[in-house]
Structure 1
């Protein structure tokens, strides 16, 4: 069973165009990371809110990825576009 991860954040005013380029460059590495199943990005211009929706094989796979991007400097780069760190939530996929 997979786990869905949401990352919700507010983009700094005027930074979305730069963030979009950053994400275009970095998302292929996310999608190819061990355990990643899918990554989608949603943006609301009215509120400058960004939602990243990811599906992973397990919470451990995502946490390994999160540790990796913290150590290699990608997370600090992402945070530079944000008002505050992302709110991260985990949801287990439920088959009903």
Structure 2
């Protein structure tokens, strides 16, 4: 059963354009990662935050991906663009 994960990045004032350029270069590897079904990017009006909406085969796939990103230094490379740590939330499908 697939899961949806949101990853919200608080973006420093005036850095949205450069952050979007940076993220655009990183997302092909995300989309190619084992278990990734889809990634969409949404920038908040006014430039305060960026949200990635990700669909994964399982939460374990997404956790393996996040570990890989930590191990390869991408999360540290985000620091010049963000004003705090990302907020990660996972969601399971509902029959509602």
TM over 0.5: yes
Alignment of 1:70-89 (within 5 A): 70-89=70-89
Q: Deviations 1:4-25 (Å, cap 9, x if unpaired)?
A: 0001121001111111111111
Instruction: For 1:70 and 1:8, locate their aligned partners in 2 and report how far apart those are by CA, in whole Å.
Output: 16
Larger deviation: 32-41 or 74-83? 74-83
Instruction: For 1:80 and 1:53, locate their aligned partners in 2 and report how far apart those are by CA, in whole Å.
Output: 22
**1:91 matches 2:91:** yes
Instruction: For 1:55 and 1:42, locate their aligned partners in 2 and report how far apart those are by CA, in whole Å.
Output: 14
Runs of 4+ in 1 over 2 A off after TM superposition: none
Unaligned runs of 5+ in 2: none
Alignment of 1:1-96 (within 5 A): 1-46=1-46, 48-96=48-96
Q: CA RMSD in A?
A: 1.3
What count of residue pairs does the alignment treat as equivalent? 96
